[in-house]
Chain A
């Protein structure tokens, strides 16, 4: 139960943080003059407005068009299918895992479990390929750190949105590694009951971490794309 509460709060918190990031970045006024209460009020109003707007525009056709317009389909064939399988397997893993964890007391079982195991294998292979072939794109550290008070100032430390995205990528990869390991080890004749318990906890914690990392990455990616798109 504790995990469910933490998971729900963490997902909601990440969602709100991403939303706030959008709101904050798009704020035109001199932001330093706003008091917190007013800022919060504006944020909720903005969020409500956007939710309504999106809800009004949402339809099966709109979603279809959106998916069709994704740059994914324009990638070279191997890359395209790699990412289709990668995203697809991850979406199924996250959906099945968290649905059963939150709503089904018994946890994941039956055919969805078999699908989860199969999707897990696909995800692990895709993740490996992504890290091998795309990991290099996510390595960028500008300068060595210096021991100064600058370390406590995020702006001067160079914590930009791009770096947060890279960090999310590597967090996702780390979580993927832990997910793979924590599903592999219990299948081996190595762990006793406490070890099995540890792996179970590690598996769902890693799953939560991977979902949060994916949210941050995708949220920022989409925000960047929407900003880059010429406004009509």
Chain B
């Protein structure tokens, strides 16, 4: 080694060592966020006019006036300027990747009232949710179930291998629902989310964006076409009524002479575009009384905080997102970042006051609150003044789809604010849904069953409402305009529902204990369907037998009902036989009674079984769709249909199963625990935040914050519903919180005592100090 080589190698060694050690010293760091290729921004803060040619899914230009033009494709219309593949990797479109993507958000809920199913579904592995693949749901199924609120892409635009692996799917007929840029960026008032939902359910996937964006009018229904139909087959000239192939008529007035279409777009989506899928409102709230989020009221838009670049990797705004994404700039868009200039760890390395965010005073709030609670505890969601609030959310309860039919659903029952610890260990308000589903027990694990599997096994067990409804609807055929056929049972009057089944028309005004009877409601009164009279009497009502004939004829039209309808009046039996009313003496074993019924095997059985009447009566006045008796029967039916398998039903926080004697028993199970996700909006004004009126907003012996009790809701009408206190969701002891709350009664006294003590001790310390100082300085003589 030469003498000059020594220092050179030493320097090289140091450089190498530094290169190796630097990452070790710096510690593990999140992978740097890769910025996608973006078109260069020239710095102008205006949005360019989007007068652009439309292209179809083959990249061919669309001439709106030509015969049977295809719908426009975002990939080929928007893609030339905005890289489509980059965009479809964004948060709203990337669920198929199965990545967790940060803090759990709201899953989809597969709700089926008839089977009492409320199943949380998500491709993302969030706690309490089930992966579609595990449920046997393909992207096609998911698209039809939930595509109504998709912004396109994701499962509605699956990769080629997923399409090929699902021969049952009809992608070749429906096409793919590409990322729908207009769903968020369309400024036009023509953007119609209801239209999108309708087109998706008609399986007009490739046409949905064109229709919903108001670019053109779409007709036809791919769902009615044969699976062999191809878009190039065009319309069927022989069928213009039923299996009409989807078609589009472009709004030609919005095209220029060069066939360029004018898109009225926003760079940042307007709030109503976000709220189409992200609304959440209390069930009982009146629209005009509902306040917007305080940020919206101050003039901010959703997208002011929930920003994204071309990659559409949305800023979700929760603390810890910066670490999840490996992008510290995201800290600026949390509550804490914007209002306090702090990151999730409390370091003041964020520029505060963005968009004019005021700095909160938080006067008199002890520090522990900022360590243990997220900002949203005090500031977001409905205040827990009246316990928990039942809300409906766009995606869970199908809000925002308007038409002749009612789309919004009561199921699932979503509750907020449920305060519980999030992934960062801080308590935050959450929304909560109790899952409900039928499942096969596989060891400790539950494998949910699809509703159709349950229905198939249950046979007629789950059809009580439909069977009684069918009788009532049958009778409706011969009613006068002011008459309604009813069933009176358990203190309720049941009438026919327009969609089949029954609905409660009101209380009967009689005691609950009376026997059920069929009747006719006319005005305020209800008369029995079969009145009591003497059939042998000379002066009986001459209209009664023609009326009986009408009613019996009507009852014989009820599909699926056994035997023939018959009325027994004392010892006389009325039947409609051979086109005439047959009046005969009732068999001896019928006894003397006044009742409608059906003659089955020589017996007069009721128009509806005791089970049906009992089931319908039990659920009356509730939104429950199952009784424990139904569950017991269905579990038995499932077990009978599949040997060596144990089946259970989960609802209301409990798992129900049959014991060895066939009785229904319930127990706790992890799968019955509620699924929750953090909420952040609506943010309330400061004066409505918790703590504004003092500590006792939360710290009192019976505060709603700690002691509201939430009944585990579910489709099952449970005899003993589970109830949980708010503090138990937080993982806090209710006893301690109650006792701690009580201490606030004596706290004013403690403050007075401490003040007096501090004044006295402070004065004496000062006096002693002054005395000592005076003595040391010789100003005060020693006594």
Binding site for B on A (CB under 8 A): 107, 110-111, 114, 117, 120-121, 124-125, 127-128, 131-132, 135, 139, 141-145, 170, 173-174, 176-177, 180-181, 183-184, 186-193, 196-197, 200
Contact = CB atoms under 8 A, between A and B. Distances in A.
A41 to B, nearest CB: 40
A111 B736 contact: yes
A188 B782 CA distance: 41
Nearest to A113: B740
A200 B367 CA distance: 8
A188 B751 contact: yes
B777 interface: yes
A197 B775 CA distance: 37
Nearest to A142: B782
B754 A177 contact: no
Interface stretch (B137-145, B703-711, B755-763): B755-763
Interface string B358-389: 00011111111010000000000000000000
B420 to A, nearest CB: 17
Contacts of B370: 193
A128 B761 contact: yes
Contact of B765 (A117, A173, A191): A173
B362 A114 contact: no
A102 B344 CA distance: 24
Interface of B: 361-368, 370, 733, 736, 739-740, 743, 747, 750-751, 753-758, 760-762, 764-765, 768-769, 771-772, 775-778, 782
Contact of B750 (A111, A121, A128, A192): A121
A121 B751 CA distance: 9
A47 B364 CA distance: 49
A177 B758 contact: yes
A105 to B, nearest CB: 11
B757 A124 contact: yes
Given A191-B364, A193-B370, A121 B753 contact: yes
A188 B370 CA distance: 17
A127 B740 CA distance: 25
A177 B768 CA distance: 13
A44 to B, nearest CB: 37
Contacts of A170: 765, 768-769
8 contacts: A111-B736, A114-B743, A127-B757, A128-B761, A131-B764, A180-B758, A181-B762, A186-B364
Contacts of B739: 111, 114
Contacts of B368: 107
Contacts of B747: 187
Contacts of A121: 750, 753-754
Contact of B760 (A117, A131, A143, A192): A131
A181 B765 CA distance: 13
Given A117-B743, A124-B753, A124-B754, A180 B761 contact: yes
A142 B778 CA distance: 10
A183 B751 CA distance: 9
A188 B364 contact: yes
A192 B757 contact: no
Please indicate which of the listed interface residues B736, B740, B758 has the most CB atoms of chain A within 10 Å of its own CB: B758
A131 B763 CA distance: 10
A6 B198 CA distance: 69
Nearest to B755: A184
A142 B751 CA distance: 39
Please indicate which of the listed interface residues B733, B739, B768, B782 has the most CB atoms of chain A within 10 Å of its own CB: B768
B365 A180 contact: no
A186 B747 CA distance: 13
A189 B363 contact: yes
Given A186-B366, A188-B751, A193-B370, A141 B761 contact: no
B336 to A, nearest CB: 12
Given A132-B760, A173-B761, A191-B363, 8 more contacts: A110-B736, A114-B740, A170-B768, A177-B762, A190-B364, A193-B367, A196-B366, A200-B367
Give chain A's interface secondary structure class: helix
B668 to A, nearest CB: 26
Contacts of A124: 753-754, 757-758, 761
A193 to B, nearest CB: 5
B771 A139 contact: yes
B689 to A, nearest CB: 14
B695 to A, nearest CB: 8
A192 B361 contact: yes
B762 A196 contact: no
Which 5 pairs between the two chains have the least Cβ-Cβ distance? Answer: A144-B778, A189-B364, A124-B757, A184-B754, A141-B775
A127 B764 CA distance: 11
B432 to A, nearest CB: 26
B90 to A, nearest CB: 36
Contacts of A183: 754
A145 B772 contact: no
Contacts of A142: 782
A193 B740 CA distance: 23
Contact of B776 (A144, A192, A196): A144
Nearest to A167: B772
A131 B767 CA distance: 11
Please indicate which of the listed interface residues B365, B754, B756, B777 has the most CB atoms of chain A within 10 Å of its own CB: B754
B740 A192 contact: no
Contacts of A117: 743, 750
Contacts of B782: 141-143
A197 B760 CA distance: 25
Nearest to A144: B778
Contact of A181 (B363, B758, B771): B758
A174 B765 contact: yes
Given A144-B775, A144-B776, A187 B760 contact: no
Contacts of A191: 363-364
A229 to B, nearest CB: 31
A62 to B, nearest CB: 36
A132 to B, nearest CB: 7
Nearest to A111: B736
Contacts of B361: 192
A180 B751 CA distance: 10
Please indicate which of the listed interface residues B364, B743, B757, B776 has the most CB atoms of chain A within 10 Å of its own CB: B757
A9 to B, nearest CB: 25
B772 A196 contact: no
A144 B771 CA distance: 12
Given A145-B777, A186-B366, A132 B751 contact: no
Nearest to B752: A184
B776 A141 contact: yes
Contacts of B756: 128
Nearest to A180: B758
Nearest to B766: A177
A173 B757 CA distance: 11
Given A127-B757, A176-B761, A196 B367 contact: yes
A128 B764 CA distance: 9
A189 B750 CA distance: 15
Contacts of A173: 761, 764-765, 768
Nearest to B754: A184
A164 to B, nearest CB: 14
A186 B754 CA distance: 12
Contact of A180 (B740, B754, B769, B776): B754
